[in-house]
Structures are given as structure tokens and as C-alpha cells.
Amino acid sequence: MKVAVVGGTGDFGRALAKRLSAAGDDVVLGSRDAERAQAAAEELGVEGGPNQEVVRGSDLVVLAVAAGAAVQTAKSLARAIGATPLLSVASELRFGDGDVRPGSEGASVAEQVAEVVPGPVAAGLHSLAASTLGGSRAPDEDALVCGDDAVAKELSLQLASRVVAGRALDSGPLANARALEGLTAVIVSLNRRYKGHAGVRITGLA
């Protein structure tokens, strides 16, 4: 599968690109800045280029920019992305009072992104941290993916299954992105409280 990682020079984007490349995927790393994309891509041994270019001809676009930039970036790339399925991985967080909580009430980042791109959108991988994803072995965690479009969800599940040692699990409609994104605040809270690198395993499934 040819995967374009938009915002691929960030910690999460680089960790994902590294893992996918090791799994045999054809990864193209994108950035607003072509030179930065090239530098990061060379380091990982993958292709790189401006976001506008890398999304063309890919099978799946992973939108890996920070949550605050996700909708604007998706909007600016809408024409280049066209009908290509997109996987939204960002979670909005609010930091304050010594704690971490989900971002603004209302629609999830993924649902907002789905409003501005013409193609189908899935959401997932929110419970994976860049630090564990970028480690020497695939994280011993499950990856949760949701979406309303069968093709976008299936491609995203395929991608997810190649980056975790656990399972890629179909977690229902895109509306559940609200829960998956919110879970990141829970995970960051757990990391702070218990000084760890929390991830999720789902029990009780056959």
C-alpha cells in the first residue's frame, strides 16, 4: 500500500513512517516545507516531499499534523487529496490545572476533517504514542479504528494491523472518533499519574 503521511516530520509521523516502511509499505513523507520533508525522509530511508505532492497517487493519506492544524491542513489539501481515503489520527487536548482533558466539546477532529475533504475519512491510532510506535518492536497494544466508509476503514485497519503487535479493531462509526480522541486525554493522564507509556488492549473478544 502506498501511504502518504501528511505532517510526517513530527514525532508521530516519523514513528509511523518508520514502522510502516519496516512492514513493507511504500511510504511518502510530507511536510509543508519540502526540504524538511526530504531531510526526514532520507533519515528514514523513504520518499519525501511537500504535502501537496505526496498525497497524489497514494492509496491512503494519513493526516498526522497537530490537532490544532488538522482541519486547516485538510482544507488546503482537499483538491490534491481528491477521492483518496484519509486516516485522521490527531486528538485535541487541553492542558491546565496540572491535568489533561479532551479538547473542546462537540465534533471530533476527524468529523471536522470529513467536512472539508471530498473523500472518505476514517479515524484511529489515537492510543498509540510516538515513543512506543517508534521503538525497536511493534507496540504490544491494540489499535482502534472507526469510520463510516467501508473502504477508508478497511485500508486504515490494514495499516493499523501492520504497526501494532496486537489487533486492529473496527470500533464502529466515525462518531466514535469522539471517544477515541478523548481516550488520548485519559492515556496522557495515566502516563502522568503512573509515569508510564500507556496503551490499550481490548479483552473479551474471540
The answer to whether the CB of 114 falls within 8 A of the CB of 146 is no
Among 22, 23, 151, 190, binds a copy of itself (CB under 8 A): 190
Cα gap 70→76, rounded to integer Å = 10
Question: CB of 44: closest distance to a copy of itself in angstroms?
Answer: 24
Stretch that binds a copy of itself, among 46-54, 66-74, 81-89, 184-192 (CB under 8 A): 184-192
Nearest to 117 by CA among 152, 88, 82, 68: 82
Is residue 164 a contact point for a copy of itself (CB under 8 A)?
no
Is residue 99 a contact point for a copy of itself (CB under 8 A)?
yes
Question: CB of 120: closest distance to a copy of itself in angstroms?
Answer: 16
Q: Which is nearer to a copy of itself, 24 or 105 (CB)?
A: 105
Binding site for a copy of itself (CB under 8 A): 94, 97, 99-102, 105-107, 132, 139-141, 144, 146, 169-173, 175-176, 178-183, 185-190, 192-206
